[in-house]
Amino acid sequence: MSDQQAPDRGASSELPASHLTPRTRDGWIATVSFLVIFLLCMPPVTHRLLDRPDMWVAGVPFFFAALFVVYVALIGVLIWALRRGL
C-alpha cells in the first residue's frame, strides 16, 4: 500500500442536498401552507367542522362551498409558488 492521500474534493465531497426538502424560505412557506390547507379537506376536519347540513351558502350546501374555498386556496398556494420560481 502506498502513502498517497485521497485528493481533497472540498465542498463537493459533502452529500448533496435532498430534493425532497425545500431549500429556500419561500419553499418552506409554500410547503407548510399547502400541507396545512390540505389538512382542511381531509375527513377528520371535513366531518367535524365543515359538515353543517342545515347551512347553505348561495344555494349550495356549506360543505361544498367550504371545500371549494379550500381547493381554491390550495391552487392559490401553487400559483404563488410557481410565480416565485419554486
Q: What Cα–Cα distance (Å) separates residue 69 from each residue in 8, 49, 62, 72?
A: 55, 14, 10, 5
Helix axis angle, 62-84 relative to 25-39, nearest 10°?
A: 170
Q: For residue range 49-79, list pLDDT tens digits in order.
A: 888 889 899 999 999 999 999 999 999 999 9
Of residues 7 and 31, which shows the higher confidence score? 31
CA atoms of 3 and 81, how far apart (whole Å): 52
Higher pLDDT, 26 or 3: 26
pLDDT of residue 50: 85
Distance of CA 42 to the CA centre of its chain: 14
Question: Which cell is 31 given?
Answer: 410547503
Q: Which contiguous run of DSSP H or E holds residue 46?
A: none
In this prediction, residues 39-52 reach a mean pLDDT of 88
